[in-house]
Structure 1
Amino acid sequence: MTPRTPVPPARRTVGPAARTVERATAALGRLRRGRLLHPAGRSFTGEVTIWGTPGPPTGVALLDDPGRYAATVRLSRGTPTPGGWPDVLGLAVRVHSPTGRPFDLLVSSSGAAPVLRNLPLPRRGFTGTYSTIMCYRVGRRRLWLAALADPDSVDLGRTLAAVTAAARTDAPRVVLAVASAVGPWRPVGQVSIGAPLDAAEDAALAFDPVRNLPPELRAAGPLAWLREQTYRGSRRARGARAQSGGSTAATV
């Protein structure tokens, strides 16, 4: 097998525009006294099982090669609107890679069709399609990632309390999938949601969907640039690091 050549992560942007966005985001975060993005959420232990990529490989070893990884999972509301109202819902998965650097996968409620996978779409229920919205690049190829509803899993409900209750009584699952810009979703694995974490552990979690990636994968496009600055500013406001929170021990 020909070894894969890792693609280095994107360079950290430190220009005047980046500093301006980061400072503005940090100021807003201090006013909110917490997360600027998806402030209301619940975190859980978890496990990611990779089955392997059906069809042509993606070029990302973590997605192409079967394996099991401890994970930390967070489900959240974007605004948040009052309980049960439509909102842009979020699912964050920190995959604790054996290399020591986590893979932070952040996906938002969206449509499954190619024309809708780039758009965050409000909905009421936590069961449904979540996509990365922004694309990634593996070499010259573009790649989207998603978490899809598992038809054999318990429903997650419409509120964060319902999500927590489902995690306590069952083992909810979502299906991980990959796609090109116009191709169908190809399932590559699943995320199992385990025991709820306490409020302090949830508050300590800090994700970085641009920097915490497998070596072959890089975030692409203007949305990735904006996301990097806003997440960094939000972490700065609450004194968190890009890899804060989430146990690296076996969780299930």
Structure 2
Amino acid sequence: MLTEQRKSLIMDRLRRDGQVVAKTVAEELGLSEDTIRRDLRELAAEGQLRRVHGGAMPLAPELPDFAARRTVSPSVKRALGRAAAALVRPGQLIFLDGGTSTAEIAKALPRDFSFTIATHSPTIAAELEAHPTAEVILIGGRLYKHSMVAVGAAASSQILLIRPDLFFLGATALHPIHGLSTGDLEEAAIKRLIASRAAETFLLATEDKLDHVSPCTIMPISDISGIFVQSGLAPDRLAPYRALGVRIIETQADGHDGS
């Protein structure tokens, strides 16, 4: 088998299983583990996967600071935000996670009826300063500056007092095997707590987050109600997520969406 064929097979296994074990692949192909380890090193150098002891895992996405993330895929995030905001109904309690995608939801929220927004992000609360009909509950605690959200015991105690109708969750990565994940353990715990209190949880996911794994697990994909994604993604990119029974909402750039 040619080197490129082996590498293609390794990447197929990684997408299918969420990990690659060098010994298992070597036995399957009748090759030495050294050959497979060399392939894994080369794939890691090419930025295709992340080497770990005994094999490989999907890449962890880069974690630029909050200001830098504002410049990433702004038109896609606007379309996702408009589609998500369309779910909001009069009188509901909505929890908005921190992040640049959820900020687009805040900007697109309806202005012709009343509802309440809870958030542990001061930047999200600031987006709603001039909103005419939204009541805002700001959850406090220790500020995790990378994501501009409150975390820790103080935030947790306040979240336990509310039961949101909808939670719009942010994550740095999602993977059909490894679920939703983020870069900070306390932030992951807060997201998990909010989801446990909410009637429904939705994720806004730009393409760069698909099939990646960050260090701290939030929850399995199957535990959320739906994922908003941009239109035009290849069907095989979304098939593993659909197979988990989660609703996939594909959003057009003009703000129309379909599933």
Looking at CA atoms only, which structure, 1 or 2, has the larger radius of gyration? 2
TM-score by length of 2: 0.26
Q: Which has the higher contact order (CA 8 A, sep 6+)?
A: 1
Structure with greater helix share of residues: 2
Structure with greater strand share of residues: 1
